[in-house]
Amino acid sequence: MNAKTALLLVALSLTGCGQKPGSPPSPESTSVATIPGHETLPAGAAASGASLYELELALTDQDGRRIGLDHFAGQPVIVSMFHGSCPYACPMLISDIKRVMAALDPETRRATRVLLVSFDPERDTPAALDELAKRHELDERAWRLTRASSEDVRQLAAVLGIRYRKLENGAFNHSTVLTVLSPDGVARFRQDGLGDPPEATARAVKAALERDGRPRLGLLDR
């Protein structure tokens, strides 16, 4: 773990970013909800105040391109983690994000990007991620489905407060968390769980854009 990541993890003890009201789950608890074939793990505390773009992670997207987190600098980003073979929770997660995107006004929607990072780099190859994007009819101008090394996945999950556990059958139990990043990579809002109305997250995306400036022209727009 490099020094920048260590500094971000220190922030885990600080205040969280726009979590829903109520007490956080106990670290000792094992699940907060059960979906058939999937145990949803409670989310942990997320880093607060630091830019995720300080993380030096190497991602590969569904087009086979190698990008860093700072590829998304200058634009609001909805970021989460998933795995492509997930039969229930992850499709619901994608549907939740699609509802958030649909709830945005056209200008904010054009500026917003979605980043999904897989827990399962062994199976989620660029070709598999591309097939998944097509199956869910995702707008590839906005959505990047990516894989990373196991170490980079662990680092990102720790900073986002996402817990995951690989099972003997190769599946994963994991938290379901959406995080809204400002254009400078700071977490401004977090939605824990599935099926929430999209309006609060959509408002957070718009607020992040208005607070931190207009977006730059991204590589996907060129």
Determine what percent of the chain is predicted with pLDDT higher than 90: 64
Q: What is the DSSP string of 81-122?
A: EE-TT-SSHHHHHHHHHHHHHHHS-HHHHHH-EEEEEES-TT
* 176 inside domain: yes
Residues 6+ apart with CB under 8 A from 10: none
- List the domain range (segments joined by +) for residue 156: 32-214
CA distance 145 to 116: 5
| CATH (domain of 172) | 3.40.30.10
* 221 inside domain: no
* 93 inside domain: yes
Tokens found for residue 183: 């254009």
pLDDT, tens digit, for every residue of 21-72?
333 333 333 333 444 444 554 454 455 568 999 999 999 999 999 999 999 9
State the total domains in the chain.
Answer: 1
Regions of the chain with pLDDT less than 70: 1-49, 212-222
Tokens found for residue 200: 């609060």
Work out the burial of residue 154: count CB atoms within 10 Å of its CB; fewer than 13 is exposed, 13-18 middle, 19 or more buried. Answer: middle
* 9 inside domain: no
* Helix axis angle, 3-10 to 150-160, nearest 10°: 30
* 42 inside domain: yes
Cα 82-86-91 angle, rounded to 5 deg = 75
* 13 inside domain: no
Rg for the chain (alpha carbons), in Å? 16
